[in-house]
A and B are shown apart, each in its own frame.
Chain A
Amino acid sequence: QITLKESGPTLVKPTQTLTLTCTFSGFSLSTSGVGVGWIRQPPGKALEWLALIYWNDDKRYSPSLKSRLTITKDTSKNQVVLTMTNMDPVDTATYYCAHSGTISQYSNWGQGTLVTVSS
């Protein structure tokens, strides 16, 4: 059974750096074809794709946010970390991580974590 859970601060100040951790079970990021992605959703708005990392350390980013995002993995801990610099109130959203392979995409999602950006 695949499960994912996001963790991190619920409140960050403008200009600060956000660090979110996705801890998962039921699969390994050392298995060929496996990846973990991040998606966010501002309150009452649509889903927005952010980034994805594959088993071979191939990393993909949203072009509009690429300069602010970094995605990394720790295979031994079954974790993927997303950092986003220079946070702004418009970055207030629920942030989700999801299991996504090269063939089967975004098949399982975490519960999401709401991050509010406010001074």
Chain B
Amino acid sequence: DVVMTQSPLSLPVTLGQPASISCRSSQSLVYSDGNTYLNWFQQRPGQSPRRLIYKVSNRDSGVPDRFSGSGSGTDFTLKISRVEAEDVGVYYCMQGTHWPHTFGGGTKVEIK
């Protein structure tokens, strides 16, 4: 299985400050069709996961533009340009290139 390693585990952030979450895969996530199936999900307390970013850097409809995804191959990053109170929760990366699909262990974003 492809192992997805996220860091940090916990990320205390001051409101209005930027935040960055790293996700590394144990194998390249480039698929044979040329796409890289790396997704980011947000899970607010008590809620279902919500997809924020798909194929590395494509923001889902309704996702604020303060969220951005980048990276390639095995190294990916989710950035929040200015953290707001509603961004509190756990963030997961997930690869959909190789079977089985696998999730990272999650990064908990909290306000300082």
Measured CB to CB, the residues of A under 8 A from B are 37, 39, 46-49, 52, 60-63, 96, 100, 103-112
Contact = CB atoms under 8 A, between A and B. Distances in A.
Contacts of B43: 47
Given A46-B103, A107-B60, 9 more contacts: A37-B101, A39-B49, A47-B43, A47-B94, A49-B94, A63-B1, A96-B48, A96-B49, A109-B50
Contacts of B54: 104-105, 107
A61 B48 CA distance: 22
Nearest to B1: A63
A47 B89 CA distance: 14
B41 A106 contact: yes
Contacts of B106: 46-47
Interface residues of B, number: 23
Nearest to A112: B48
B71 interface: no
Contacts of A100: 96
Chain A contact surface mostly: loop
Nearest to B106: A46
Which 7 pairs from chain A and chain B are nearest by CB?
A105-B96, A47-B103, A109-B48, A49-B101, A62-B100, A46-B106, A46-B105
A109 B39 contact: no
B50 A60 contact: no
B67 interface: no
Nearest to A49: B101
